[in-house]
């Protein structure tokens, strides 16, 4: 199973939208895909149509209770079928206080890794939506991640914190004993056709060149269809197959898979 995480400590850069788009796009191409919503805000779960007041399965938070010696759930009880070839596991709102809750757990950065080893079902891809923090749960994600996609929106302060993020990923690769952990590329999201956006695009390109990181050629343009699809709890491919953002994400999925085949 190849694991891809969408990570950026800056909020509002379409991490959730891009996670769902890549996962549903891969599923559409007949790959078996598991999504993990590791963000306690649970926006990915909502976008996938889950009623957060009546979650139809266990959460990772329930599974992780066993790490503290408490009665908990089996990881297989947390798998929710979303559509053909696409399943979801919800982290849980309790992850808001994870750093404190699991302070006494040995090797707590590897709780997710230990849990996923017990999955009965096999997948081609695991696509993970990270919270906009670099705290414990994100560290758990990076411990199992092969490649990171960093969404960036070309706007003021777009590159703020990026230096820290890229340096932190390098440190985590060693600390988590995950030498394969690397940035697959920067994905431009919410892009507008303005002079200001073009200025910030140049800034992102300069940053990528400094760190020798690829910028995906596929650019995701700002499009009302994204917000509308989320309101209706549908994937972009299902709600608006001909919308500009949908076509953009289709191009990204194709570019992503092309990179995978190299």
Q: What is the CATH number of the domain that holds 186?
A: 3.40.50.300
Other C-beta atoms lying within 10 Å of the C-beta of residue 255? 16
Tell me the whole-structure pTM to 2 decimals.
0.95
Other C-beta atoms lying within 10 Å of the C-beta of residue 81? 11
Q: What is the DSSP string of 185-202?
A: EEEE-SB-SSHHHHHHHH
Give percent above pLDDT 70 in the chain: 100
Ramachandran angles phi, psi of 7, nearest 5°: -135, 135
Q: Is the pLDDT of residue 262 over 70?
A: no
Closest C-alpha among 39, 41, 33 to residue 6: 39
Q: Is the pLDDT of residue 247 over 90?
A: yes
For 28-59, what is each residue's pLDDT tens digit? 999 999 999 999 999 999 999 999 999 999 99
For 205-242, what is each residue's pLDDT tens digit? 999 999 999 999 999 999 999 999 999 888 999 999 99
Task: Give mean pLDDT, residues 194-206.
Answer: 88
Domains of the chain: total: 1
For 49-105, what is each residue's pLDDT tens digit? 999 999 999 999 999 999 999 999 999 999 999 999 999 999 999 999 999 999 999
For 101-119, what is each residue's pLDDT tens digit? 999 999 999 999 999 999 9
Q: Which domain holds residue 50?
A: 2-260
């Amino acid at each position: 199973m190849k694991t891809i995480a969408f990570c950026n400590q800056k909020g509002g850069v379409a991490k959730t939208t891009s996670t769902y788009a890549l996962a549903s796009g891969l599923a559409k191409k007949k790959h078996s895909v598991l999504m993990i919503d590791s963000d306690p805000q649970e926006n990915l779960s909502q976008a996938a149509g889950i009623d957060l007041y009546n979650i139809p399965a266990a959460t990772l938070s329930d599974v992780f209770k066993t790490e503290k010696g408490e009665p908990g759930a089996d990881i297989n009880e947390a798998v929710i079928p979303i559509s053909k070839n696409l399943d979801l596991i919800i982290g849980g709102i309790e992850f808001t206080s994870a750093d404190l809750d699991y302070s006494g757990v040995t090797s707590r950065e590897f709780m997710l890794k230990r849990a996923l080893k017990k999955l009965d079902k096999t997948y081609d891809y695991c696509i993970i939506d990270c919270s906009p923090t670099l705290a414990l749960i994100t560290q758990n994600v990076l411990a199992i991640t092969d490649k990171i996609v960093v969404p960036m929106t070309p706007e003021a302060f777009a590159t703020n914190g990026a230096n820290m993020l890229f340096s932190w990923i390098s440190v985590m690769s060693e600390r988590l004993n995950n030498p394969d952990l690397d940035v697959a590329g920067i994905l431009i999201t919410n892009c507008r056709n303005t002079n200001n956006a073009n200025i910030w695009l140049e800034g992102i390109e300069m940053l990528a060149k400094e760190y020798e990181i690829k910028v995906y050629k596929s650019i995701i343009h700002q499009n009302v269809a994204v917000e509308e699809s989320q309101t209706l709890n549908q994937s972009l491919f299902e709600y608006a197959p001909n919308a500009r953002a949908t076509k953009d994400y289709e191009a990204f999925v194709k570019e992503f898979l092309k990179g995978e085949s190299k």
